């Protein structure tokens, strides 16, 4: 009896098991755009010991083309059907999109903020269906920065910057990106470059008239110092700033909420998905831009003289 029991036990754990691939579906509806995209891929297992091998594009896409469609719902009933067609374009929404290996589907329609949408991806031959639902967020209004004649953006260490926006309905995650355009001259050759300064990700769950977030000017200088290298004889001059504001719907906010609060033991939700029958995400996203923002003289002064950036060759008018 003892011998039989001992033989039944084994210390070998099978780390890699063959399983059916799972559909991976991403769709972020943009209420400001006329074209919407759905990305369809599939999960895969690498055989044991082959994790350093390049992934074959065939591993990521399905051999059978699925039917991809979205239903617009009103009062608990579908009122509109939008069929997606396979797209060959390489310019797509944000994210990593290889030229081959991932299938992207597109449809021409503009989602209506506040309306409910149901996404379906149906693999007829494989008897698989993937579904998800979301309510489209309304586009936020960026209040600050705002382009006013004579107004400048100031990232100095005395006056902090404040981002302000009105969230609209179904708020989720927000992140700002300041793009600093500058010229770079070395040996009479001038080129135009840009560097980026991103704000933290702000998670908003309540509807508010105006959200306000403080941006530390010292972090701007640190960010510039991290991105640029000094070179003997180089002269850099700030041209202007652009502000790019990313907003996502409440569904995406819940899914990545765990990652944002990593370290808080009460909010760890990782590797989750609002896609039924697969993984991925179905939510909404808006990207807005405020261009041609003038840099303040103190921003230029601090770039030229602060301990963090004084060796990067920035010049200002007073020099």
Report the interface residues with another protein, using CB under 8 A.
143-144, 146, 148-154, 156-162, 164, 200, 210, 214-216, 218-219, 222, 260-261, 263-265, 296-299, 301, 317-318
Burial of 53 (0-12, 13-18, 19+ CB in 10 A): exposed
CB of 154 to another protein, least distance (A): 4
CB of 311 to another protein, least distance (A): 20
CB of 129 to another protein, least distance (A): 39
Nearer to another protein (CB atom), residue 168 or residue 278:
168
What's the distance, CA 298 to chain centroid? 31
Nearer to another protein (CB atom), residue 43 or residue 166:
166
CB of 285 to another protein, least distance (A): 22
CB of 193 to another protein, least distance (A): 24
Nearer to another protein (CB atom), residue 138 or residue 299:
299
CB of 128 to another protein, least distance (A): 39
Q: Which residues contact 187 (CB under 8 A, 6 or more apart)?
A: 233
Check residue 59 and give left, alpha or beta (phi > 0: left; psi -120 to 50: alpha): alpha
Nearer to another protein (CB atom), residue 250 or residue 299:
299
Residue 225, phi then psi, degrees to nearest 5: -60, -35
Nearer to another protein (CB atom), residue 42 or residue 300:
300
Nearer to another protein (CB atom), residue 147 or residue 190:
147
Spatial separation of the C-alpha atoms in residues 260 and 258, rounded to whole Å: 5
3-state secondary structure of 295: strand
Nearer to another protein (CB atom), residue 49 or residue 263:
263
Spatial separation of the C-alpha atoms in residues 191 and 182, rounded to whole Å: 9
Beta strand spans in the chain (E): 23-29, 35-42, 67-74, 77-87, 103-108, 116-123, 128-135, 141-144, 152-153, 161-166, 173-186, 189-198, 202-203, 211-215, 235-248, 279-295
Distances (CA, A) of 270 to 26, 255, 261, 275, 281: 16, 7, 11, 14, 13
Spatial separation of the C-alpha atoms in residues 228 and 212, rounded to whole Å: 29
Nearer to another protein (CB atom), residue 150 or residue 232:
150
CB of 316 to another protein, least distance (A): 10
CB of 300 to another protein, least distance (A): 10
Contact in structure between 286 and 136 (CB atoms under 8 Å): no
- The H-assigned helical ranges of the chain are 2-8, 217-227, 250-260, 297-305
Distances (CA, A) of 282 to 40, 68, 196, 278: 12, 13, 28, 11
């Amino acid at each position: 009896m003892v011998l039989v029991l001992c033989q039944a036990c084994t210390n070998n754990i099978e780390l890699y098991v063959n399983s059916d691939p799972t559909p991976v579906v991403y769709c972020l509806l943009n209420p400001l755009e006329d074209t919407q995209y759905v990305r369809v891929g599939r999960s895969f297992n690498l055989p044991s010991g082959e994790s350093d091998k390049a992934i074959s594009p065939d591993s990521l896409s399905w051999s059978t083309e699925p039917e991809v469609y979205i239903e617009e719902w009103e009062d608990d009933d579908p009122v509109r059907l939008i069929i997606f067609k396979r797209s060959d374009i390489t310019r797509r929404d944000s994210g990593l999109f290889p030229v081959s290996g991932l299938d992207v589907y597109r449809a021409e329609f503009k989602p209506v903020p506040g309306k409910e949408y149901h996404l379906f991806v149906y693999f007829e031959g494989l008897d698989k269906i993937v579904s998800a639902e979301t309510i489209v967020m309304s586009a936020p209004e960026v209040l600050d920065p705002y382009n006013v004649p004579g107004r400048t953006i100031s990232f100095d260490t005395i006056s902090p910057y404040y981002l302000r926006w009105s969230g609209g309905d179904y708020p989720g995650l927000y992140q700002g990106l300041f793009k600093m355009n500058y010229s770079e001259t070395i040996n009479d050759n001038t080129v135009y470059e840009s560097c980026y300064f991103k704000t933290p990700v702000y998670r908003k769950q309540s509807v508010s008239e105006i959200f306000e977030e403080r941006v530390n000017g010292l972090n701007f200088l640190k960010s510039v110092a991290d991105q640029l290298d000094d070179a003997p004889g180089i002269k850099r001059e700030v041209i202007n700033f652009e502000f790019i504001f990313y907003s996502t719907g409440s569904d995406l906010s819940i899914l990545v909420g765990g990652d944002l609060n990593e370290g808080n033991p009460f909010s760890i939700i990782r590797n989750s998905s609002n896609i039924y029958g697969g993984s991925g995400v179905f939510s909404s996203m808006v990207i807005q831009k405020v261009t041609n923002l003038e840099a303040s003289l103190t921003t230029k002064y601090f770039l030229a003289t602060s301990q963090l950036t004084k060796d990067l060759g920035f010049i200002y008018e007073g020099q």
